[in-house]
Amino acid sequence: MHIEGLAQDTLCIHASQEPDPTSGAVMTPIALASTFVQNGPGEHKGYDYSRAGNPTRTALEGCLLALEGGKHAVAFGSGCAATSSVLLSLKSGDHVLVGDDVYGGTFRIFDKVLKPWGLDATFLDMTDPVKVRQAIGPRTRLIWLETPSNPMLKIFDIAAIAEIARKANIPLAVDNTFATPMLQRPLDFGASLVVHSTTKYLNGHSDVVGGAVIASDDAMAERLHFLQKSLGAVPSPFDCYMVLRGLKTLGVRMKQHVHNARILAEVLARHPQVERVFYPGLTSHAGYAMAARQMKGPGGMISFDLKGGLAAAVAFLKATRIFACAESLGGVESLAEHPAIMTHASLPAEARKALGIGDGFIRLSVGIENVEDLKQDLERGFHAARNT
């Protein structure tokens, strides 16, 4: 199918997903083979061994690059594997500028895995692009950021930082997991790489772990393919199929996530037991104007400070019935978690305090359930918190 000019919703369903030429099957087949027959040494039909390439994985990668508007896509066995592979394209002694607010697993890779190996990272608040330009040093080889960030939902100016990176001849990698290509396409703003945990919104059903990198640069893509093959950090064909299946409803799901989150953010902002709400769709959010410029919607993630500290937060999280207390995000079901204890426990206590991740801080992944039911469920949590 010719995909040029097609809308994102259509690309989700059709990009790189032609009917099977042998059977006519509408759904992409799962190629479970680990090896592929060759007519002779080196004479294959595009595949020789599934660690190096697999037809189902190729279909997923083709859909992802169409959605993000890239030239190359490389699928991995997890979001952490995708992140690690990007960083392993660097060498010991190189320096990376990193947004001060990133997923705890990403911080762990920088601080606990690659720092001893010799990769130097500086974490800084990138809401002011001038700080990014000033922090670039002679050994800086990459800029890495999330926007919206996890869990503070900071909004960074991708275009401004991309221009700084371009002038310094440094690639910019943007983790687009929270926004998805339905709400934001970082490559359109000048980013070099887009990283995803496909575990989250892209799959959308909390039943797959996966990751991906979409690149605009040929040399970087070649390096990532080499690392994907050499490290073996590949997704299974079945997981690729599952993400493709999830992608088909990404458009409609993201509309409902945003719809529900907007309403709940307003409810939280007015609630007497809430100290602060972090949601880019609220005019009170510091990044509201920037989010409105570079995003098509503020997303489905909300964070807030609950009055009463840890005891209130624990009571809240134990009392909700629809908002399940669980890590991860982006599924059709609503989740609630305590970053200081759960997703961001790997951050040092002083780093969490500097960011504002306190004992009463709760992160919500707003699902696609009926929003009135979600309102009532939050009130159930608030009622429990009041009685601690």
- Cα separation, 166 vs 69, whole angstroms: 19
Query: 3-class SS at 37?
Result: coil
Residue 200 falls in the annotated catalytic set: yes
E strand residue ranges, the chain: 72-76, 95-99, 120-124, 140-146, 172-175, 193-196, 211-215, 274-278, 301-306, 324-325, 335-337, 361-365
Token code pair at residue 179: 């926004």
Spatial CA neighbour of 358 closest among 319, 315, 303, 317: 303
Question: 229: Cβ–Cβ under 8 A, 6 or more apart, which residues?
Answer: 51, 52
Distances (CA, A) of 14 to 9, 184, 215, 327, 355: 9, 20, 21, 31, 41
CA 71/CA 22 separation, integer angstroms: 28
Look at the alpha carbons of 265, 210, 115, 93 in this order and tell me if their dihedral is positive or negative: negative
Alpha carbon 345 to chain centroid, angstroms:
19
C-alpha–C-alpha distance, residues 294 and 288, integer Å: 10
C-alpha–C-alpha distance, residues 133 and 129, integer Å: 7
| CA-closest candidate to residue 245, choices 79, 29, 67, 4 | 29
Backbone dihedral angles phi then psi of residue 40, each to the nearest 5 degrees: -170, 175
- In the set 175, 239, 305, 377, the catalytic residue is 175
Radius of gyration of the chain (CA): 21
Burial 51-75 (b: 16+ CB within 10 A, else e): eebbbbbbbbbbbbbbbbbbebbbb
Catalytic residue among 47, 57, 101, 103: 103
Is 318 a catalytic site residue? no
**Is 51 one of the annotated active-site residues of the chain?**
yes
> Whose CA is closest to 359, among 335, 334, 388?
388
Catalytic hit among 51, 223, 245, 248? 51
> Given 200, 262, 296, 363, which residue is catalytic?
200
Residues 6 or more apart whose CB falls under 8 angstroms from that of 295 comprise 155, 179, 183, 184, 280
Q: Which residues are catalytic?
A: 51, 103, 175, 200
